[in-house]
């Protein structure tokens, strides 16, 4: 693989993921709008129905694996015997070599702020304190500025339709895996599923999201063993509290040359002059805008 190639990038030309609808604009004239499609996906684990997610429908196998991993319903050493996706009935079935204890996990649900599918299980929080992130990892401000430029200008469904979130797995200033979905947590789960399926380690990685830095996003990042989470959007109080508790570097409001770090600032290496970074105007039109929704 060429050093500059991405493993997964958005495909805004995939006609299955959006449709064009005609309405009117502010003058009353006819106007076409590209709008994202939403569809249900029911995830099964070893014959048991676990959850139905609202999703755009791409990478269903990765979404199912990542969701189950981030809920601790799958373990990193689990042997996956099959992942079967049926597009017609909108289901994906994950089969493992060992039987899982999902019955108990289903009894301990916590509803979260995630849009489209926001549920974590109680034992995720119980295990949160035992996760150890790489204390020696470093994140350079020059990487942040490079990532912002690469991600914000990359053709994507967000730029085409809006009403969608993106998450990007990064290595230094290089985007590796860029997933999109109606919920940022779905996009994060797709990345987790890809990493699990292809044996991609979390060492030296960071995560970028277009959405808010909530407790759920912090929990998923820590579950994935990634020490740095950054966003162009803002924070929630519980997200910051959990990030500090887990030793996660949490960088938000990253737009142009500006950012705010509220946890894990000791990992940040200030190796770029902010005045030399490209700044963003306050609000752009939809085409070319990356403002959070």
How much of the chain exceeds pLDDT 70, in percent?
84
Model pLDDT for residues 172-215, shown as the tens digit of each residue: 999 999 999 999 999 999 999 999 999 999 999 999 999 999 99
Mean of the pLDDT values across residues 210-224?
A: 94
Domain that holds residue 258: 139-276
In a domain, 117, yes or no: no
Domain count, the chain: 1
Compute the residue count for the chain.
293
Can you give the CATH number for the domain in which 163 is found?
A: 3.40.140.10
Model pLDDT for residues 55-102, shown as the tens digit of each residue: 999 999 999 999 999 988 898 899 999 999 999 999 999 999 987 666
Q: According to the model, what pLDDT value does residue 129 have? A: 72
What's the per-residue H, E or C state across the chain? Answer: CCCCCCCECCCCCCCCCEEEEEEECCCCCEEEEEEECCEEEEEEECCEEEEEEEECCCCHHHHHHHHHHHCCCCCCCCCEEEEEEECCCCEEEEEECCCCCHHHHCCCEEECCCCCCCEEEHHHHHHHCCCCCCCCCCEEHHHHHHHHHHHHCCCCHHHHHCCCEEEEEEECCEEEEEEEECCHHHHHHHHHHHHHHHCCCCCCEEEEECCCECHHHHHHHHHCCCCEEEECCCECHHHHHHHHHHCCEEEEEEECCEEEEEECHHHEECCCCHHHCCCCCCCCCCCCCCCCC
Predicted TM-score (pTM) above 0.85: yes
Q: According to the model, what pLDDT value does residue 282 have? A: 46
Report the alpha-carbon distance of residue 69 to residue 73 in Å, rounded.
Answer: 6
In a domain, 44, yes or no: no
- 78 close to 98: Cβ distance less than 8 angstroms: yes
Instruction: Please indicate whether residue 124 or residue 42 has the higher confidence score (pLDDT).
Output: 42
Q: What are phi and psi of 33, to 5 degrees?
A: -135, 135
Model pLDDT for residues 237-275, shown as the tens digit of each residue: 999 999 999 999 999 999 999 999 999 999 999 999 998
Report the alpha-carbon distance of residue 187 to residue 190 in Å, rounded.
Answer: 5
Q: Is the pLDDT of residue 286 over 50?
A: no
In a domain, 228, yes or no: yes
Q: What are phi and psi of 27, to 5 degrees?
A: -100, -5
In a domain, 150, yes or no: yes
Model pLDDT for residues 133-176, shown as the tens digit of each residue: 999 999 999 999 999 999 999 999 999 998 899 999 999 999 99
In a domain, 8, yes or no: no
Q: What are phi and psi of 187, to 5 degrees?
A: -60, -40
């Amino acid at each position: 693989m060429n050093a500059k190639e991405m493993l997964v990038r958005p495909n805004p030309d995939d006609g299955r993921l959006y449709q064009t609808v005609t309405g009117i604009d502010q003058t009353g004239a006819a106007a076409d709008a590209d709008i994202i499609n939403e569809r249900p996906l029911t995830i099964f684990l070893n014959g048991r129905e676990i959850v139905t997610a609202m999703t755009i429908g791409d990478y269903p196998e990765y979404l199912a694996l990542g969701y189950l991993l981030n809920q601790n319903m799958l373990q990193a050493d689990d042997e996956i015997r099959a992942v079967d996706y049926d597009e017609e009935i909108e289901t994906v079935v994950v089969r493992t070599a060992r039987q899982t204890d999902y019955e108990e996990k289903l009894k301990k649900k916590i509803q979260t702020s995630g849009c489209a599918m926001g549920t974590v299980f109680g034992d995720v929080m119980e295990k949160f304190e035992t996760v150890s992130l790489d204390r020696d990892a470093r994140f350079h401000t020059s990487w942040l500025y490079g990532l912002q430029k690469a991600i914000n200008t990359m053709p994507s469904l967000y730029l085409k339709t809006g009403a969608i979130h993106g998450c990007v797995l990064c290595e230094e200033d290089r985007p590796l895996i860029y997933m999109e979905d109606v919920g940022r947590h779905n996009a994060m789960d797709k990345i987790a599923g890809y990493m699990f399926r292809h044996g991609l380690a979390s060492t030296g990685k960071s995560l970028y999201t277009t959405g808010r830095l909530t407790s759920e996003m912090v929990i998923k990042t820590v579950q994935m063993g990634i020490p740095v989470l950054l966003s162009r959007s803002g924070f929630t109080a519980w997200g910051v509290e959990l990030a500090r508790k887990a030793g996660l570097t949490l960088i938000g409001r990253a737009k142009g040359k500006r950012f705010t770090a509220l946890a894990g600032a000791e990992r940040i290496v200030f190796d770029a002059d902010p005045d030399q970074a490209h700044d963003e105007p306050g609000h752009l039109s939809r085409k070319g805008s990356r403002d959070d929704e």
